Amino acid sequence: MINGTQTLFNWSLRADARSIYPHVVRAVFAGFMLLAILAAWADSVGGMAPGLYFFEWLCGLNVLIISVSGISYFVSAVTEEKDSGTLALLRLAGVSPLAIVLSKSTSRLISALMLLMTQVPFTFLAITLGGVTWQQIIAAYLALAAWMCLVANVALFCSVRCQTSGRAASLATSILLLFFAIGPLLQSVAGLKGIPWISPRVVTACMELHEQQQLTSIVPRLAQIFASNSNLIMLAEQFWRGLGFGVVMFGLSVVLFNRYSEPLESNPHGSSAKVRRYTVGRCWKLPVIWKDFLFFMGGKSFLIVKSLGYVVLVGGFLWFHNLEQPNSSEWLSSDLTRTAFLTVTLLLSVELLLYSSSSLFLEVRESAIASLRMLPIQTPVILLQKIAAGVLATSPAIITLAVLWAYKPQAFLGYNDFPEMVVSWLFAISLSTHLCVLLSLYTRWAALPLAILLSVAAFPCIGGAALGLFTITETAAALNGISIGVWLGVGVNFVWMWLFVLLPIEIEIVNRWNRLSRE
């Protein structure tokens, strides 16, 4: 008789094979490989090694896909059962925690590894193009496989630990961002050797931790593979560390499964009437904003926590500036102000992507679109209220950015490339969030990684046109004596982008929402 593990495993693989979206992802990735080959051929005209360029581009795209999949695809392995309320049925059927975790996570890991393996024959074209050996290709894909094992099992642990997919995705995102950011931070602190207020033990500890992080990260390993093929070790320490940490996280997921498999509380806002009155309160005049802000984006309590977090973040920069320049009359230097601004912008971007990929998807999964359509509110108004809820939830980051800008605007206006950075960020985040919303109405799990992939592919094409239009607008403004030509170019690009790129996506979102409400 087929046991529970094999049944769930076969069902997961068959569901993935029968769904059209995983095959669409594979086809899109094949198209990216073709674009990489064309870019490598174009670089060969300049006398460079096109094979190495193609190989580096492809490996970088794989790292991006694997990391993004950790916060979207792998992270919903167990939480999708919790969200749909079927986890208790699996336990009632006698399926063990090991069987559930093994069947739900391993099937997705195998599907992802298959996508990785199918690239290998095509990647061998890099040898023909020149600049790469077969040893480098094999070593790189072994490193990518180990990194995928690590990311998948970290996401699995987040899926077991958290009660909902949104919380699991937030936890996985925080872990990955912390992992990539801790390397430069530790290196910066280790470079402060000899400063009186930093203990030598702290510097030594940071140096050791930085070394361990570099031995585990995929980025230094790929850089080592790209640099030279002499004395290249196929199964380096990064490979064994990735597999080892993956096995440890898998074991923790199995051990802690029973502890965190309890159903979500029916009243997450407290049992006390006073607590509910503060956290929930009465429904607002705009009910969709109230519902999304309270039940999807954490409500007042999470808003306060985020506000305190940004205060602590800015306070950390102030403390570091005071230690670095104790006699300075400024609160923050220009460099630290820009660094703080970019850090908050990164966190804001992550928030926007997570909210946009899950807001409408939750309505589809819970079959709540028809109920929303029964409200005397038109579809565009409902979607605008959802956008307003997202703006309200991200208001701590927006206010922090406004405060940093108001404190020292010359730190940004004096930076020559700052307007171009604004245009690039506006285009990238607007396109990514719109694609996340649209794809969440079509796909079951891959809205966020697909949106990022499509944005990465579209940015060199459309982004180049946007930067060209920015230069033309700035030049025309200078010829006519307009002093704000830089920001006029930003406005022109935003209008052009909304009219020709974002507006068609918004129309399709409304049409798709209306079609789903009639099903």
Which residues in the chain come in under a pLDDT of 70? Answer: 1-49, 83-85, 166, 190-199, 229-230, 262-281, 414-416, 419, 444-446, 460-470, 474, 477-487, 489-490, 519
For residue 240, how many other CB atoms are within 10 A of its CB? 12
The pLDDT score that the predictor gives to residue 308 is 92
In a domain, 131, yes or no: yes
* CA angle in degrees (0–180, nearest 5) for 79-432-454: 95
In a domain, 9, yes or no: yes
The pLDDT score that the predictor gives to residue 248 is 92
* CA separation for the pair 261, 232 (Å, rounded): 45
Smallest CA-to-CA distance from 350 within 301, 385, 394, 395 is with 394
Rounded to the nearest angstrom, the gap between the alpha carbon of residue 219 and the centroid of all alpha carbons in its chain is: 17
φ and ψ at 444, to 5 degrees?
Answer: -90, -30
Identify whether the C-beta of residue 490 lies closer than 8 Å to the C-beta of residue 419: yes
Structure tokens at 188: 């910066």
For the chain, how many structural domains are there in total?
1
Alpha helices by DSSP H, listed for 217-333, are 218-227, 237-255, 273-279, 287-295, 299-324
Amino acid found at 48: M
The pLDDT score that the predictor gives to residue 397 is 92
Identify whether the C-beta of residue 96 lies closer than 8 Å to the C-beta of residue 4: yes
Question: 125-143, pLDDT tens digit by residue?
Answer: 778 777 788 888 888 899 9
In a domain, 206, yes or no: yes
CB-count burial class (<10 Å; 0-12, 13-18, 19+) for 201: exposed
In a domain, 509, yes or no: no
In a domain, 188, yes or no: yes
Question: 30-79, pLDDT tens digit by residue?
Answer: 666 666 666 666 665 555 567 777 788 888 888 887 887 777 778 877 77
Range of the domain at 93: 1-263
Alpha-carbon torsion (480, 484, 486, 491), positive or negative: negative
Write the Ramachandran bin of 367: left for phi over 0, alpha for psi from -120 to 50, otherwise beta.
left
The pLDDT score that the predictor gives to residue 1 is 37
CB within 8 Å of 38: residues ≥ 6 apart: none
In a domain, 87, yes or no: yes
In a domain, 446, yes or no: no
Q: Given the structure tokens 């529970």, which residue do they identify?
A: 4
Collect contacts of 330-339 with beta carbons under 8 A, ≥24 apart. 331/407, 332/407, 332/408, 334/408, 334/410, 334/411, 334/414, 335/411, 337/404, 337/407, 337/408, 337/411, 338/411, 338/412, 338/415
In a domain, 334, yes or no: no
Rounded to the nearest angstrom, the gap between the alpha carbon of residue 354 and the centroid of all alpha carbons in its chain is: 8
Query: Three-state DSSP class for 257?
Result: coil
The pLDDT score that the predictor gives to residue 400 is 92
